Structure 1
Amino acid sequence: MALNGMLPTSDYAEDQPLFHFILTAHVMHRTLPIGAFISSAIPLASTFVLRRATVYPITALLLRSNSTGALVSLGIGGAMTLGRMWGREDIEWKDRSWRLLRNTGQTQLDDFSAAGLAVGAVLGAVGRGPLPLWRGVVGGAGLGTLAGTLAFVVWKSTLGKKEQ
């Protein structure tokens, strides 16, 4: 599992290093596909349901909307973590981080989503059209996390069940 290989984990939760970073990054990463879904629905509905004329091609519209949605999602994820964990003891942060790293299903989902993020960022940079590079990369990364999450759901509902 790539996540376990990249992030240090300990044998016991109370010894977990980087616990603040791990938990915050996890929640922020998990908010990206939700933001991508919402950020994709808006331009798609505007274009296809409301039949509004578009200035950009649909790919550029999606990248533009998702670049904003990704930044908003990251902010919301950070605020959610801060709000939920405010005033909590370090052992609670360590325990939650340790459990995330030890949960096979969660690390598989994170791996799929992270792979989608990387591929999406590259594809967004290449296919951004008239958009600035940062919009292509960030928008593609957001869309990639959604694609990775959906790929995980399909994989888990078909091939992943054979592993159990």
Structure 2
Amino acid sequence: MTMPSTAPSRRRGLRLSALTAIAVAVAGTLLAGNVNSAEAVPPEVISRWNNELIHSNAISPGLSTSLGTGAYTITAKLYAENTGSSAINYLCTIGTGPNSDSDVTEVTLAPHSRHSIFLNVVHNYPGTGPLSFGCTKPAGTAQVRMKQVKITAVKVNTLVNQPF
């Protein structure tokens, strides 16, 4: 009785080598088809911050700047601290220009309390355009400490912004 050999025959080795060569050629062709497509570029991050702003008047100190051409996702966060003994209606806004994309958060600050505020907006700037952030409160109310204010714009490769 003869035992089958566990070593591959020369013929089987050639057959596997031919299949491997075909697979490599097909993969190379598929990859070569992607050479001309646009590659994603790393995001550009622009961030501004202030660890404490005092909001005394009806309109807070805020941010007004410009962003370059492109698609952005923009966030702002802070916590607002009411220094007085009466509740304050507090409204913060981030926007990309008149009649454009914006986000609003409105909270009631209880006396001597603080509240977290978060805003998010996405926008595609066809050219250099405005970005603004600020908060409002009724005139004559106590000061509000705006603490740990962070505003970050991330330029992205593509942006889809639609209702759901």
TM tier relative to shorter chain: under 0.3
Q: TM-score, normalised by structure 1?
A: 0.22
Could you say which structure has the larger radius of gyration? 2
Q: TM-score, normalised by structure 2?
A: 0.22
Higher strand share: 2
